[in-house]
Structures are given as C-alpha cells and as structure tokens.
Amino acid sequence: METISLIPATASVFSNKLSKVGPTGSVRALSQLSLRTASARLSTFQRWEQSQNSPTPQALSSAGFIYRGVADHTQCFTCLVVLSQWHLEHDPEFEHRRHSPSCDFVLNRERESRNYGTQPNSSPSSDINLLAEISPVADVTNKDASHSTEASLCKICYSLDMSILFRPCGHLLTCRSCADQLSNCPICRCPIFEKIRAFVSFE
C-alpha cells in the first residue's frame, strides 16, 4: 500500500461540472458536494481495470474513494489522500483510517458506527439488502424442520446456533464463542472489523 502526497483531485473526474463552478468555487468543494454518495463515487471507476488482486470498485467507493484514472490510484473525496498499490487483502475502510485518521469522512463513519452499533455505511435499505444476501431463507415445511435446525448451527462447532454477523463482509456462520476466536472471516478471509449479534429465524 502506497500513500501518495495529498494532492488535489484531477480535473478530469469533474470535467463535466467544472464550468458550473464560479471564480470563487473550488474543485474540492465541488467534489465534496457531487461525490457524497457511494454511487456517485462508484461512477468514477468506469475505466478501473479490475484485477483479481485488488478490492472491488464498490468497496473502494463505499470507503470514500474515487478513481483518479491512473493505474490503481484512488483518492478520498473529502481529505484528498491518494492511495495506490492495492491488493486483495487490503480493506479500503481500514486503509483509509490508517492513512488518514483525521479525515472527516472516516470520523463521520466511526461516529455513525458508535451511534447505531453498525458498520458506518449502514442504512435501512443497505441493511435489508445485506440480510437478503446473507441468508436467503426458503419456506421451511414441517418435514424440513431437521434440515432447518442443521442450517442454523454454527459452521465451526456445529453445536450452537449461528449468531454473529461479520462486518464488512456480511457473512453469518458462527456462534459467539467461535466468533471470539476469529480475526478473519473463514469464508472470504476478509479481516473482521466488527462482530454484530444477529437474531435469525430458520423456521
């Protein structure tokens, strides 16, 4: 992971909006207004050449980064820190916090996490989508009750019910006891930054 000195965002990212900025306007103010949403930041990754060895554009944009259009250089739309040389094991949110701990975007995400007990980018609609991704539950009939019980068991010890959701990956597969012993998700190997108690019904 390489941190490049704090430099202004490239005008190419904002070229279609620069004409709207008056003589007193700044590219930074424009970037903060137009790139507040993860979807707006994701749109800057259109020319990103995704490799199997780098985080996804979705993960990078969710962590506050835009694509600078050069190699794998990404830049925070708020603090303007530029990070490059991404690898799959890098977590964009963690790297953002590590390289720019005083960034307003990072601090706001941490504040939201404390206030709501969830990962900072959480919203009601993203929580619903996350639940749909985590555990698509089919209708369970009485004859499938034994299968239902097995499906709810911790995938490590197979003795207690699954009850811990890992963030940021969103996998739900362990009981609290087994989760306490893990630092990486056993499914995707993503570092676990938060363990959330989940209540899931398989009936």
pLDDT of residue 202: 59
- Tally the domains of the chain: 2
pLDDT in tens, 11-70: 333 333 333 333 334 445 544 567 888 889 999 999 998 777 889 999 999 999 999 888
pLDDT in tens, 142-155: 445 454 577 888 88
Mean pLDDT for the chain overall:
74
**Strand 65-67 versus strand 2-4 pairing type:** unpaired
- Is 124 part of a structural domain of the chain? no
**CA 131 to CA 123: how far, in whole Å?**
12
pLDDT in tens, 59-101: 999 999 999 888 899 999 999 899 999 988 899 999 999 999 9
3-class DSSP assignment, residue 66:
strand
Task: Note down the domain range covering 183.
Answer: 133-197
pLDDT of residue 21: 35
Q: What CATH number does the domain containing 61 carry?
A: 1.10.1170.10
Q: Which residue has the tokens 């800057």?
A: 44
Shared domain check, 65 and 107: yes
pLDDT in tens, 187-198: 888 888 889 988
pLDDT of residue 113: 72
Length of the chain: 203
pLDDT of residue 64: 94
- Is 187 part of a structural domain of the chain? yes
pTM exceeding 0.85 = no
